[in-house]
Structure 1
Amino acid sequence: MALKVIGAGPGRTATFSTKFALEHIGYGPCYHMVEVFRNARRNIPLWQNVVDGKPDWDAIFDGYSSVTDNPACVYWRELAEFYPEAKVVLTVRDADAWVESCNDTINSPRMLSSLEGSDLLQMLQGTYLSQFGENIDDREWMANWYRAFNAEVIDTIPSNRLLVFHPKDGWEPLCDFLEVPVPSEPFPRVNSRDELGGASDEQGGLPADPEQLEAFAGGYIDELRRKAFA
């Protein structure tokens, strides 16, 4: 199964809500960082191969028809070239709000320190975190990086292949872009800062052990799926 939709927006741009939305309108399953976690013992080595310059995109996305979030969004350019028929969705938000949300969740010292010495952190350092170098705590630099990232996607992907999408706009722009009917249900809104922070706070961050990480991710996906269309 080749990818049909590539989500270029970084984490904390409603990528989890977009994952559930894409699945709901027929573009599922949708890959997301939490899918890396849910099958960590298989997926982390595959992403480490990407870091090492040996990507096997078909193996990584086997069984998936769309993708959002880290670490895949780091490789939006490569994926757009590898899957030339796929459409690209760039989820966006205010740059300063993005930095604040990242600092409270996926970039927080609590979250990253819980993974110290793990294969997962090594993979993250080679993919997502490598974009920032030593600047991850510099709010202004990060906001400017985010603006430049979005501009590069917009300047690179042809306009007829790209949707710049703020999930607060709901179903209509996404469904129009993908040429599918608009669902009657409200657009899913999940994975707020409080939900992710609370889930990780219960255990002091993310589990570094792959087996425990898989169990955490499975439960987290199920919990958010229940909330998605409640």
Structure 2
Amino acid sequence: MLTVIGAGFPRTGTSSMKAALERLGFGPCHHMFDVGSNSDRAKRWAPLASHDTVPDWEYVLEGFRSSVDWPASFFWRELAEAYPEAKVVLTVRDPQSWFASMRTLIDNGPARLQSEKLAPEMAGLVENMMTTRPLLERMIREGLGSDSPFGVVPDEKETIAAFERHIVTVRESLPAERLLVFDVREGWEPLCRFLGVDVPEEEPFPHLNDSKMMEESIERLMKGEKVGLPFHPVE
């Protein structure tokens, strides 16, 4: 059962939030990394590409206590209704830097994964991406308001406008006592206060560079090296 629901768009510090929530005892925390690395998880999400699917959230998110990033955060409203006791965290960042990060994600993720020169070690990741592609396309279409083909960077002006609309919608849809609007640069204190837990002593807030991790991990995968998700090297 989820106790913390992430409502922020991808590239708004979601990797940092995953690490922070797990450090605070709200893990495991579901992230897009979990879909890309696990074929069973990808198959659980795939039917949600259709509006006709009635999600069984206990099945889709089995084993997780919190969630961040798409695909889960795309369904923030449904999850908030399904788990009325859960708290919601809306991660935010500067719109222009967010779009630049999205551009990096698309250029170094979907676009490259559709190329022909792929190492055999990438087969599982590519298969999982293809399994969830209809859902990803739905999220891009409805979340970003874009009809750009999968793997193509959408229009900057329209995408930033969608990003800003999303923030307003979430803020207006949930009571203040249930929602935290949070920039990961604020560190532990506002997050811990909101969740009612102690601030980790003498421990810095985890600031993970999503774009850098993605770029470096794709490079290693292209070379045939094993990579564990969320994009940490495998010994």
Q: TM-score range by the shorter chain?
A: 0.7 to 0.9
SS in 2 for 1:89: strand
- What is the rounded CA distance, in whole Å, between the counterparts of 1:22 and 1:110 in structure 2? 25
Pair 1:49 & 2:47 matched = yes
Q: Do 2:22 and 2:28's aligned partners in 1 also have CA atoms closer than 8 Å?
A: yes
- What is the rounded CA distance, in whole Å, between the counterparts of 1:103 and 1:63 in structure 2? 32
Shift of the alpha carbon at 1:6?
0.2
Flag structure 1 segments of 5+ consecutive residues without an equivalent. 225-230
% identical equivalent positions: 36
The change in CA–CA distance for 1:128 and 1:59 in structure 2 (over 3 A counts) is farther
Pair 1:102 & 2:119 matched = no
- What is the rounded CA distance, in whole Å, between the counterparts of 2:231 and 2:216 in structure 1? 15
The change in CA–CA distance for 1:110 and 1:31 in structure 2 (over 3 A counts) is closer
Alignment of 1:180-191 (within 5 A): 180-184=197-201, 185-191=203-209
- What is the rounded CA distance, in whole Å, between the counterparts of 2:100 and 2:183 in structure 1? 17
Where does residue 121 of structure 1 map in the other structure?
Answer: 133
Where does residue 223 of structure 1 map in the other structure?
Answer: 232
Shift of the alpha carbon at 1:130?
4.4
- What is the rounded CA distance, in whole Å, between the counterparts of 2:84 and 2:140 in structure 1? 23
- What is the rounded CA distance, in whole Å, between the counterparts of 1:110 and 1:186 in structure 2? 29
The change in CA–CA distance for 1:33 and 1:128 in structure 2 (over 3 A counts) is farther
* CA deviation profile, 1:54-73 (whole Å, cap 9, x unmatched): 22211111111100001111
* Aligned residue type for 1:62: E
Shift of the alpha carbon at 1:190?
1.0
Shift of the alpha carbon at 1:87?
0.4
TM-score when normalising by structure 1: 0.84
* Aligned residue type for 1:158: P
- What is the rounded CA distance, in whole Å, between the counterparts of 1:192 and 1:44 in structure 2? 21
Among 217, 222, 229, the alignment partner of 1:199 is: 217
Alignment of 1:83-94 (within 5 A): 83-94=83-94
- What is the rounded CA distance, in whole Å, between the counterparts of 1:56 and 1:4 in structure 2? 17
* Aligned residue type for 1:47: W
* Aligned residue type for 1:123: L
* CA deviation profile, 1:61-120 (whole Å, cap 9, x unmatched): 111110000111111111100111100000000111111100011x32752352489223
- What is the rounded CA distance, in whole Å, between the counterparts of 2:66 and 2:140 in structure 1? 19
Q: Do 1:44 and 1:123's aligned partners in 2 also have CA atoms closer than 8 Å?
A: no
Q: Do 1:115 and 1:121's aligned partners in 2 also have CA atoms closer than 8 Å?
A: no
- What is the rounded CA distance, in whole Å, between the counterparts of 1:112 and 1:150 in structure 2? 27
Pair 1:31 & 2:43 matched = no
* CA deviation profile, 1:111-140 (whole Å, cap 9, x unmatched): 235248922323311334543332552111
Among 116, 133, 155, the alignment partner of 1:138 is: 155
The change in CA–CA distance for 1:203 and 1:38 in structure 2 (over 3 A counts) is closer
- What is the rounded CA distance, in whole Å, between the counterparts of 1:182 and 1:133 in structure 2? 40
Q: Aligned Cα RMSD in Å?
A: 2.4
